[in-house]
Amino acid sequence: MRAPLMAFLLVMAAAFAQKPTVVVTIEPYRFLLQELVGDRMQVSVLVPPSFNPHVYEPTPSQVKEVAQARLVVANGAGLDKWVVDKLVRPNNLSVPVFQVADAVRAYLIATPAGPDPHIWVDPVLMARVVPPLAEALTKADPAGKALYQVKAQRLEKALQDLDKEVANYLKVRSKAGVIALRNPFRYFTQRYQIPILYVVVPNPEAPDASAKAVAEARRLAQEKGVRHLLAPLPAKTQAEPLARNMGLEVVLVDALGEKAASYRDLILNMAQAFAQALR
């Protein structure tokens, strides 16, 4: 009995090892892809949530990871251009790359530095992305078409429901708006009509806040009765001394999923952070 059992286990282990892979650049897309592929594919993420995807340097082992993938899902809009420039193109890889921003190009927010790439913080935009993403998965894995269609319909509905839940949660406000250290939140604040009164470091390439910006943030906070400084979670060490200087408390926003267990969790955590700053 043991020999047939061992043979069966070896076959199952080999089948699992050969399970196709889809590679995503950042954690929020791992959450969404996992909802779409279920157990049919493995989902691998290139950038750890605590790393900056704008300037990430892929590792040599990730070349092999991308080369073996059925599909790569990148954000696009300049956020993770390195996935093509440093992984796909230099190594002549034939893996298809799905750029999420291309699916919602008409909705991208313009900034002086180009389109804002932080589109994943808007669940409505992510719902719009689901159908073309399911099509890309089907091209990469035609045998999974029926599964992807069913799961895409469910995910699209779940994202629409999440949007309504967040909108209802953020209805109660006593503040005129929020003050942010940096602003990877534009799509979220636009969706839920939250005024950003001031951004202390508006240039994403600037490492530090100027004395003039700190003084202006302090003045506006006093004028508008704002008590909190919203900051992305990776900027915690920069935000805390700045907030003390302004007489504010820091509210950290996890926009990359470092503390989240799912996409829903990520968006609800963001909503809770903004609610705290608005009440």
The pLDDT tens digits of the residues spanning 22-38 come to 999 999 999 999 999 99
pLDDT digits (tens, 9 = 90+) for 245-279: 999 999 999 999 999 999 999 999 999 999 999 99
The proportion of the chain whose per-residue pLDDT surpasses 90, expressed as a percent, equals 89
pLDDT value of residue 17: 52
Query: Tens digits of per-residue pLDDT, 136-182?
Result: 999 999 999 999 999 999 999 999 999 999 999 999 999 999 999 99
Instruction: Give CA–CA dist 67/43, Å, rounded.
Output: 14
- The structural domains of the chain, ordered by start, are 17-167 (3.40.50.1980), 172-278 (3.40.50.1980)
Residue 67 to residue 195: CA distance in whole angstroms: 43
pLDDT digit string (tens) for 106-124? 999 999 889 999 999 999 9
Cα-Cα-Cα-Cα torsion 239, 170, 185, 268, nearest 10 degrees, comes to: 90
In angstroms, the CA 244 to CA 263 distance is 32
pLDDT of residue 205: 74
Order of strands, sheet of 97-99, starting from the edge strand that comes earlier in the sequence: 42-45, 21-24, 71-74, 97-99
